[in-house]
Structures are given as structure tokens and as C-alpha cells.
Amino acid sequence: MSAFAASAQYSPAQVNPEFAQAVAGGLTRKGQKALPPSWFYDEVGSALFEVITVLPEYGLTRAEAGLLSKTADKMMAEIVRASGRPALVIELGSGTGTKTRHILAATACYGSVRYLPVDISSAALDSCVKILGAMHNVSIHPIESTYLDGIDLALAHRKAGEPALLLFLGSTIGNFNRGETASFLGHIRKRMLPGDYLLLGADLVKPRAKLLSAYDDPIGVTAAFNLNLLARINRELDGHFEISQFAHEARYNERQSRIEMHLRSRIAQEVRIGELGLTIPFSAGETIWTESSHKFRVEEISRIGRRGGWSCVRQWVDGEWGFAETLFQNAPGPK
Ligand code: AVI
């Protein structure tokens, strides 16, 4: 692609100041260049992620959907018996909400439900409304926001005495730094009331080869998902990345039990980003770290929740792929 072709797609009307700031900060920092994974999900990235979820090598989403379809009715009966019907279901990083259907259907059996998906991607929220919009007894109120602000906005919909159920599915918790997970769950809990629930989906540690093919699939969908971040910079920030001069790379860090995704510069090059007024130098082989995807042990998940102040109610495990769904409650007690 020529520099002209790269900037020809650029549309100045699209500049998002937070994206501009994240790119400028991540590409000019000393040492390892990095971009936060939350910026993967523009319209193209969200569509590519949907394709990833049906790849034979990426069993995560299928495993979670299978677990939820088997357990949602029993889980909801247990919640209703203990605390009453959760008329408010909030989901963080909802994506298109496909796997959420099982939970909503089980909840809607007991009466009407207000479903509040929270996502920073308007594209993901649009398809969530399309996919789940026609469910019986379910009204959808999408919230385009970061997670913590989104929870506050969503909880403003609570009527007195209603328990809320917060969903954090798809192992998005794995995209946080390990040191931040317990404190993030603690920040969530402090926003909620005693008796509220959290359902957390987390991918489990599994053999290196299985993980590497899940994050470096043979037909290159994950590579396209990763490289789209550079294409997004071209489109939205007048970037001049030659996409073919970067390669997708997935590494497994055994010590940290995490997949690390990088974009490797194939040559020494300089890349101009017009909207930022920056020219970014790359040495041959240098990488931009774009995502960490942590994998957990079952007992580690309940421990992290407890460190965030939650009580573990129950866990369900899919042993075939290796995925766990954990139901926590914000038990009454000291805040
Ligand atoms: C959204 N998140 C949990 C996915 C994951 O597995 O970490 C994103 C993803 N990255 C590459 N493939 C899928």
C-alpha cells in the first residue's frame, strides 16, 4: 500500500481524542511500544472478533455458551430463591451479547428484565441490540461507556429493592494486568449493593500448542484482527502504516500464564501519523504489544473474587476446552 493509499481512507471527522491520546502515549513511550486492546473494537475489529469466536481453534466462546446454556436455568432458580428476581442485568464489555441470550431467557421466565450492556464500541452495542432486541420480556438499554462509569449509569436504572446481576463474560478479565484484577473487582463491588451478584467467565490454563493456535489461527483471522489496529490508526488518525510491513505474533508466556499479542515491524521504518503530528521510528523486528490474555486456574478465580470482597457462591467448569463460570455475591457485611 502506498502512503497515498493509506491516507486516502482517512476521514478527519472520526477523530476520537481518547484514541489519539492512547496511540500517542503508547507509541512514544520508552522501551516496549504498546497499544491498549480496548481499541481493537471499531466496526471492522468487532466484526473480525465475531469471526474469531466461531473459529475451530478458538474454543473459548463456544465453551462459555455451552456452559451457560446448561447452567442458566438452575443458576437463575438459585438466585431467585436466595435473593429474588434480578430485574436488572448489566453486562460489561457485552460485545454482541450472543452468549448472554441464555441468561436473559432464564431471567425473563420470572418477569420483565432490563438489560444494560456496557461497551465502548458503538458497533458492538448496535449488533447487540439487533441480536437480542426481540427477546420476550427483555428491554435493552445500551450504554456506550467505560466499565466503571457504565456501571454507575446502569445502576441509576435500579428500582428500590431490586437485586442486580452483573455479567463479566468471555474472559475479558484476562485482558487486565494480573495485578489489577482483584482491585477492579473490588471497584465494581463498591458500586453495587449487598445481595447483588457477579457472574464472571474466565478462560483456564491449557497446553501451549492449543493456546497458540487459538491466537494464531491458520487462516489469519486473528492476524487481521490485530493488524486492524494499525489500519484503524490510518483511517482515524491519518496514519501511514504500510500494513504489509508488520506481522502478527502470538507468544505464550508460561510464567505469567498468558498469551501476548504483538505487531512486529518487518523492517526498520518510520511511520507518520498526521493527526498526532508524530513520526514513529521502528527498528527491524521491534514490536508493539497489543494484548495480554491471561489464563487462570479454577481456584485462582474464586481467590481473586474474594480479594475484591466478593463471596464465591458456585463455579461451573467446562473441562473439554477449559473454561469456568463463577457466580459471586456481594454478601451483606462491612463495605
Ligand atoms: C475479548 N478477549 C477476551 C479476547 C481474548 O481471548 O483475549 C480477545 C481476543 N484476542 C485475540 N483473540 C481474541
What would the pLDDT profile of 210-223 be if each residue is shown by its tens digit?
999 999 999 999 99
Confirm if 290 and 34 have CB atoms less than 8 A apart.
Answer: yes
pLDDT value, residue 289: 98
Q: Which of 38, 46, 49 to mutate to test the pocket of ligand 1 (most atoms within 8 A of CB)?
A: 49
Per-residue cell: 272: 507518520
Q: Determine how many CB atoms are found less than 10 A away from the CB of residue 149.
A: 11
- Given a cut of 90, whether residue 71 has pLDDT beyond it is yes
Cβ 222 under 6 angstroms from ligand 1: yes
Cβ 172 under 6 angstroms from ligand 1: yes
pTM (predicted TM-score): 0.93
> Ligand 1 center to residue 225 CA distance, Å?
10
Q: Which atom of ligand 1 is closest in space to residue 250's alpha carbon?
A: 11
> Ligand 1 center to residue 293 CA distance, Å?
7
* Among candidate residues 37, 80, 53, the one with its CA nearest the CA of residue 217: 53
Confirm if 36 and 23 have CB atoms less than 8 A apart.
Answer: no
pLDDT value, residue 56: 98
Q: Which atom of ligand 1 is closest in space to residue 291's alpha carbon?
A: 10
* Among candidate residues 37, 17, 18, the one with its CA nearest the CA of residue 225: 37
Distance CA 85, CA 332 (A): 18
> Strands 258-265 and 246-253, how do they pair?
antiparallel
Half-sphere CA count of 330, side-chain side, radius 13 A = 21
> Ligand 1 center to residue 295 CA distance, Å?
11
Confirm if 111 and 85 have CB atoms less than 8 A apart.
Answer: yes
Q: Which atom of ligand 1 is closest in space to residue 53's alpha carbon?
A: 13
Alpha-carbon distances, residue 24 vs 12, 20, 73, 275, 319 (angstroms): 17, 6, 47, 10, 42
The tens digit of pLDDT for each residue in 175-232 reads: 999 999 999 999 999 999 999 999 999 999 999 999 999 999 999 999 999 999 999 9
The tens digit of pLDDT for each residue in 40-67 reads: 999 899 899 999 999 999 999 999 999 9
> Ligand 1 center to residue 301 CA distance, Å?
18
pLDDT value, residue 335: 47
Contacts of 113 (CB under 8 A, 6+ apart): 86, 87, 88, 89, 104, 107, 137, 138, 139
| Size of the chain, expressed as the number of residues it contains | 335
Start-to-end Cα distance in the chain:
56
Report residue 335 CA to chain centroid gap: 27
Question: In the structure, what pLDDT confidence band is assigned to residue 240 with cuts at 50, 70 and 90?
Answer: very high
Which stretch of 39-48, 249-258, 277-286 has the lowest confidence by average pLDDT? 39-48
Please, is 218 exposed, middle or buried when counting C-beta atoms within 10 Å of its C-beta (0-12, 13-18, 19+)? exposed
Torsion on CA atoms 79, 94, 53, 100, rounded to nearest 10: 30
**Atom 7 in ligand 1: residue holding the nearest Cα:** 293
Alpha-carbon distances, residue 213 vs 43, 125, 251 (angstroms): 25, 29, 10
* Among candidate residues 315, 296, 293, 334, the one with its CA nearest the CA of residue 52: 293
Q: Which of 38, 291, 294, 295 to mutate to test the pocket of ligand 1 (most atoms within 8 A of CB)?
A: 291
**Atom 11 in ligand 1: residue holding the nearest Cα:** 215
Cβ 170 under 6 angstroms from ligand 1: yes
